[in-house]
Amino acid sequence: MLTHRPLYRFLTRWFVSSLGLWIAASFLSSSISYDSKLRVIVVAGLVLAIINTVIKPILIILSLPALLISLGLFMIIINGLTVYLVSKLYHPLHITNFWAAVFAGMVIGLVNYLVTAILEDTAKP
């Protein structure tokens, strides 16, 4: 069972990223466009999950001074940067500006928190 745990975590991260992007696109329909295609959201969620797995830890290490000075609030900017990077790497997802990406990152973070809390609550005996 432990050998499947990293795959399970990645698939969960992919699902949460896709769900968060879809919710954020619903709130920011004037700033985030995906041509109303579920495929675009799913692929963008995959790209975001990969970025969060590979690039985000490097960004966190490089921005440790800013994170410490801001008491962790700089994570909002890092989350927005990762979402904005997705829109630049995967063109069917279009985010008009960086601040829309920051808001989308906050929505994705909130969705991640809620899904994680629900999954942990259901996993308890």
CA gap 7, 18 in Å, rounded? 16
pLDDT for the residue 90: 95
Helix (H, G, I), strand (E, B) or coil at 62: helix
Residue-wise pLDDT for 32-64, tens only, equals 999 888 999 999 999 999 999 999 999 999 999
Q: Say what the alpha-carbon torsion angle 6, 120, 63, 47 is, to the nearest 10 degrees.
A: 50
* Cβ-proximal residues to 63 (8 Å cutoff; 6+ apart), any chain: 74, 78
CB 87 within 8 A of CB 94: yes
Domain ranges in the chain?
A: 37-118
The whole-model pTM stands at 0.88
